[in-house]
Amino acid sequence: MTSHRKILIVSYSGQGHVIPSLRFAKRLLNMGVDVTYSTSLSVVRRLEKETTPHGLTFAPFSDGHDSGKQPNTTLQQFVADFATNGASAVAEIISSATAAGQPFDHLVYTTVIPWAARVANAHGIKPTVLWCQSTTIMDIYYYYFNDYQSLISSNNSDPTFPINLPGLPPLTIADLPSFLLQSCPKEHAFLVPVMKEHVDVLKLSSRILVNSFGELEFESIRAIEKLEYLPIGPLVPSEVVESMNKTSGKDFFEKSEDGYIHWLNTKPTSSVVYVSFGTIATFSMDQMEEIAIRLVESRRPFLWAIGDSGIAERLSKIEELKKQGMIVDWCSQAEVLSHQAIGCFLTHCGWNSTVEALVSGIPMAVFPQWSDQETNGKMVEDVWRTGIRVRRREGDGILEGMEIQRCVEIVMGDEEMKKNAEKWRNLAREALNNGGSSTINLQAFLDDM
């Protein structure tokens, strides 16, 4: 029985953490679990009421940045402030619930905030991490901090040096998470001890909820005996899952009032290139214009979600772009990727974007930037075979427009890639069905509480 379970979810404020943790919260609510969701006040203020799971209780706290991260605040300071304020706030949330006679049975925390596990343990509550990256990435960090740091560090200057980790696909130095590389910017170096802390706190609970599904990362899930993975993904909107069970998603999408959906409805099946590089990556205006020119020259319709209203407005005024494509500063990505008109996804290969593309059966042209994205790109290209990595220009790493055009043409015309994408889409759907592996794993997690 799960009807009287009470779970506290604590999420870091980044979009890549909030989105999957809210979707996880909705899954729990649908299974009769009482869920309290805690993150920064600035995030809760921005949440759209219509997309917030019904019945979810919020316990926001001030992280010292109530208007969001400011340009003059370093990422290290922002993460530190979130930890300092969050730890005391979460401790108070737990204590207040206990004093009111409504204690939490469990605490689930996301990536980047391993301190939440220690807060939970100090208050007699068992913690479990909701890992917002791939199982493969967690395995790599575990190996790095257990016996492989010397091998990786001593060969860091050679991007082609082979790294063979037990149970994982053959990798090179260049395929590893950016935080472990010599080329990692100094301002990101503080994240290495954060990831080490993630590995260390697994001693409190070695069970890991992961936004993946068993068939996708079969070997990675079994690579390390000391870690017990429970793949409960893909964590996508329930509406998208419902649309996958139809022969066409057209009826579902026609309910939307958004202009980009109406625009997509006018395009032939699998004809549109969807472009989005996430919410963190930044490009120069020259780089953006170069991408735009090559998209026009591809002679294919495209939908480009830029994330910067100023740049989106400027590019939207270019007549050639307006004729061939549509540029928006925001769209519902999971909804767009599930639309029948999309034939290719040009992406930074963040984990949420990767999972959403896989569950929608969309092949990818990937341009990784940092963190786990290069590893994700490796898996997309060489393991799952649903896409191709865009090559950077030697020397400065710039994304050249001709390379974009080359990769888009390959992805849009490769029938084998399309078949593989469809295969993973079907396996993802099966994992989420009643009796599917992800559904069974989530129920097992609740039963063991």
Quickly list DSSP for 138-170.
HHHHHHIIIIIHHHHHHTTT-TT-EE--TTS--
**What is the per-residue pLDDT for 257?**
53
Tell me the pairing of strands 126-131 and 106-110.
parallel
In the predicted structure, residue 252 carries a pLDDT above the cut 50: no
pLDDT tier, 247 (very low <50, low <70, confident <90, very high otherwise): very low
pLDDT at 226: 94
- Which amino acid is located at 387 in the chain? G
Task: In whole angstroms, give the CA distance from residue 325 to residue 254.
Answer: 20
Inform me whether the pLDDT recorded for 49 exceeds 70: no
To the query of whether residue 54 is one of the catalytic residues in this protein, the response is: no
Model pTM score: 0.93
Q: Which residue from 39, 15, 128 is spatially nearest to 89, judged by alpha carbons? A: 39
Q: From residue 103, how far is each of 31, 40, 162, 254 by CA, in Å?
A: 19, 22, 49, 44
Q: What is the pLDDT of residues 75-89, one digit of tens each?
A: 999 999 999 999 999
318 — pLDDT class (breaks 50, 70, 90): confident
The span from the CA of 340 to the CA of 251, in Å, is: 11
What confidence tier does 310 reach under pLDDT thresholds 50, 70, 90? Answer: confident
pLDDT band at residue 50 using 50, 70 and 90 as cut-offs: low
* Residue 1 in this model has a pLDDT that exceeds 50: no
CA 117, CA 95: separation in Å to the nearest integer?
A: 15
Least Cα distance to 171 among 131, 139, 194, 123 occurs for: 139
Q: Within 325-392, where are the H helices?
A: 333-337, 351-360, 373-378
Q: What is the CA radius of gyration of the chain?
A: 22
CA 149 to CA 168: how far, in whole Å?
Answer: 16
- Predicted pLDDT of residue 251: 37
Alpha carbon 2 to its chain's center: 28
Given 17, 65, 106, 339, which residue is catalytic? 17
Which one-letter amino acid corresponds to residue 79?
A: V
109 vs 394: which has the higher pLDDT = 109
Q: Could you tell me how many helices (H) and strands (E) the chain has, helices first?
A: 20, 15
Q: Is the pLDDT of residue 158 over 70?
A: yes
Strand 162-163 and strand 171-172: the pairing is: antiparallel
Q: How far is CA 5 from CA 33, 36, 92, 102, 269, in A?
A: 5, 11, 20, 10, 44
Structure tokens at 288: 């953006």
Q: Are 296 and 321 in contact (CB under 8 A)?
A: yes
pLDDT band at 391 (very low <50, low <70, confident <90, very high): confident
Cα angle, residue 62 at apex, residues 59 and 64 outer, rounded to 5°:
160
Residue indicated by tokens 């020397």: 395
Please name the amino acid found at residue 32: G
Distance set, CA 84 to CA 69, 79, 138 (Å): 15, 9, 24
- The overall longest dimension of the chain from CA atoms, in Å, is 65
What domains are defined for the chain?
Answer: 6-237+431-448 (3.40.50.2000), 244-428 (3.40.50.2000)
Amino acid (1-letter code) at residue 107: L
Give phi and psi for 230, each to the nearest 5.
-120, 90
pLDDT over threshold 60, residue 255? no
Please give the helix or strand (H or E) that residue 313 lies within, else none.
Answer: helix 309-316
In angstroms, rounded to a whole number, what is the distance separating the alpha carbons of residues 273 and 300?
Answer: 7
